């Protein structure tokens, strides 16, 4: 016989782990399913650190959502005892008319966020390991920093289980079906379950699972590398070195973190733009010499003392919508289903607020959070195909 739940959540990575936590906290009977093991490195939520910032250059509409995220990160730290969010300040760099600098400035001014606008001489003085060009400026955002993705997913999952959620790992959903009654049946490799509501948060598996949504989703391979500075290690410590996003021209952005893993842990840097198109099945998991060289080209020019030996590297996936904004909404055809996908390379900082929104949608069918700009209806029309 089918086991029945109030809500089933498909995918327990960044977004799904937050959704099961918020649903369980509201007393819902919730089942979470993941095709992989708990806190794995085969999707999009691994690699030790994720930038969090409020002066949002991508779109000013994200600001209230990320502000709520900060509150929820601190609450989750209290509930779980885990160390998740650290404020280091953040530099958003590029020419004054670059989208990173002009967009960050717009969000900072519109929302009264604490920031400074720095020119190339200020940058060289305050952050001597950086080599800005004469045209480079930066918005320094005081409250930016980083989140620990693995610890965050673990904290959400463990807290959800403590609150009574059933979580099944290495149990992929293979099919789903909406009954005439409106209930949703979810079929896995080993069992069948039923629920009034279902939440889909399948990360890079979304193009296949949510093909009926009418949103074109593209998955791209991105490599993170950890380098050992050649000198001035202390200049990379979080007390003196912030997180940064550096737009070097219209199509090229790289970013990185301070030395957050001790003297031998390396300092993470990566490229945000580009990335090879792939699927979770076809992706090249091994790191190639060429991947590392591409990152070194940026470091050699802009942060030369970070261009030392490589400690380690890891491969991750971005899932991109055509405008690189997320999709978070009730399914356009099946209102009992909510979807959360297309988080691109900037979704992790939002995971707790997305969890809260998904719990709102699965509980009341709507949310007070301003998510209209994340609806799938901004693209083509959805089909009725699951
Ligand atoms: C290199 C890199 C750097 C990034 N940097 C930042 C950053 O600095 N700041 C930031 O905010 N964001 C950043 N991001 C983006 C952010 O990490 C992602 O947007 C976010 O992790 C996506 O979470 P998710 O829940 O959608 O996907 P995931 O965490 O991958 O979760 C999806 C889950 O669904 C499961 N699943 C799939 N299919 C099924 C099925 N059929 N049945 C059951 N389970 C299934 C998968 O196993 C997986 O666990 C970065 C991403 C990458 C790759």
Per residue in 173-201, pLDDT (tens digit) is 999 999 999 999 999 999 999 999 999 99
The closest alpha carbon to 129, from 258, 245, 296, 270, belongs to 258
Cβ of 317 below 6 Å from ligand 1? yes
Site to probe by mutation for ligand 1, drawn from 8, 15, 50 as the one with most ligand atoms within 8 Å of Cβ, is 50
Q: What is the pLDDT of residue 134?
A: 98
Ligand 1 and 223: CB distance under 6 A: no
Alpha-carbon separation of residue 102 from 97, 98, 311, 377 (angstroms): 6, 6, 34, 28
Write down the mean pLDDT value for the chain.
Answer: 96
Predicted local confidence at residue 3, as pLDDT: 81
Ligand 1 site, residue 173, Cβ cutoff 6 A: yes
Taking only Cα atoms into account, the Rg of the chain, rounded to an integer number of angstroms, comes to 21
Give the CA angle between residues 14, 228, 258 to the nearest 5°: 50
Separation of CA 154 and ligand 1 centre (Å):
14
Question: Could you tell me if the CB of 342 is within 6 A of ligand 1?
Answer: no
Q: Ligand 1 centroid vs 203 CA: distance in angstroms?
A: 5
Q: Whose CA is nearest to atom 12 of ligand 1?
A: 346
CB of 43 sitting under 6 A from ligand 1 = yes
The model carries a pTM of 0.97
Task: Give pLDDT tens digits for 291-344.
Answer: 999 999 999 999 999 999 999 999 999 999 999 999 999 999 999 999 999 999
Q: Is any atom of ligand 1 closer than 6 Å to the C-beta of 51?
A: yes
Distance 121 CA to ligand 1 centre (A): 38
CB atoms within 10 A of CB 331: 20
The pLDDT of 211-224, averaged and rounded, is 95
pLDDT digits (tens, 9 = 90+) for 234-259: 999 999 999 999 999 999 999 999 99
Atom 37 in ligand 1: which residue has the minimum CA distance?
Answer: 202
Mutate to test the pocket of ligand 1, among 85, 205, 218 (most ligand atoms within 8 A of CB): 205
Rounded mean pLDDT, 260-282: 96
**Contact by Cβ (8 Å): 241, 268:** no
Strand partners, 187: 175, 192
DSSP, collapsed to helix, strand or coil, labels residue 215 as: coil
Query: Is the model's pLDDT at 372 over the cut of 90?
Result: yes
Rounded distance between C-alpha atoms, residue 152 and residue 149, angstroms = 5
Which pLDDT score is estimated for 1? 53
Question: CA dist 5 to 2, 29, 117, Å?
Answer: 10, 5, 51
Separation of CA 258 and ligand 1 centre (Å):
22
- E strands, 182-309, in order: 184-188, 192-200, 218-227, 243-249, 252-256, 267-271, 276-278
- Whether 349 lines ligand 1, by a CB cut-off of 6 Å, is yes
Residue 270 CB–ligand 1 contact under 6 Å: yes
The pair of three-digit structure tokens given for residue 322, joined into one six-digit string: 């055509």
For the Cβ of 132 lying below 6 angstroms from any atom of ligand 1, the answer is no
Q: Concatenated DSSP letters for 292-338?
A: HHHHHHHHHHH-GGG-S-EEEEEEEEEEE-TTS--EEEE-SS-TTEE
Q: pLDDT for 57-109, tens place per residue?
A: 999 999 999 999 999 999 999 999 999 999 999 999 999 999 999 999 999 99
């Amino acid at each position: 016989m089918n086991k029945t739940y109030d809500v089933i959540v498909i995918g327990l990575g960044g977004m799904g782990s937050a959704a099961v936590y918020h649903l369980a906290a509201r007393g819902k009977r919730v089942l979470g399913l993941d095709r992989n093991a708990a806190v794995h490195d085969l999707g999009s939520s691994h690699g030790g650190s994720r930038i969090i910032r409020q002066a949002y250059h991508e779109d000013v509409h994200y600001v209230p959502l990320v502000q709520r995220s900060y509150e929820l990160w601190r609450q989750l730290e209290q509930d779980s005892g885990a160390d998740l969010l650290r404020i280091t300040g953040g530099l958003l760099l590029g020419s004054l008319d670059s989208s990173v600098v002009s967009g960050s400035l717009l969000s900072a001014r519109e929302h009264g966020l604490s920031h400074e606008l720095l020119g190339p001489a200020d940058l060289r003085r305050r952050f001597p390991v950086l080599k800005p060009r004469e045209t480079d400026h930066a918005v320094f955002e005081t409250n930016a920093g980083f989140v620990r993705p693995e610890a965050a997913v673990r904290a959400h999952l463990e807290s959800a289980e403590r609150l009574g959620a059933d979580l099944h790992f290495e149990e992929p959903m293979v099919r789903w079906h909406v009954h005439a009654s409106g209930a949703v049946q979810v079929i896995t490799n080993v069992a069948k379950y039923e629920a009034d509501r279902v939440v889909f948060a399948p990360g890079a598996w979304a193009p296949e699972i949510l093909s009926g949504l009418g949103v074109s989703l593209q998955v791209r391979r991105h490599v993170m590398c950890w380098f050992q500075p050649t000198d001035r290690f202390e200049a990379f410590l979080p007390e003196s070195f912030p997180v940064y996003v550096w737009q070097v021209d219209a199509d090229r952005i790289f970013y990185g973190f301070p030395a957050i893993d001790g003297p031998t842990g390396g300092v993470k840097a990566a490229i945000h733009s580009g990335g090879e198109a792939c699927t979770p099945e076809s992706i090249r998991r091994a790191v190639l010499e060429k991947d590392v060289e591409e990152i070194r080209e940026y470091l050699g020019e802009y942060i030369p003392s970070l261009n030392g030996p490589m400690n380690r590297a890891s491969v991750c996936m971005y899932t991109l919508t055509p405008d690189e904004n997320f999709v978070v909404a009730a399914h356009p055809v099946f209102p009992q289903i909510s979807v959360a996908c297309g988080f691109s390379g900037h979704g992790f900082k939002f995971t707790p607020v997305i969890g809260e929104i998904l719990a709102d949608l699965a509980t009341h069918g709507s949310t007070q959070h301003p998510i209209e700009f994340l609806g799938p209806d901004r693209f083509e029309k959805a089909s009725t195909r699951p």
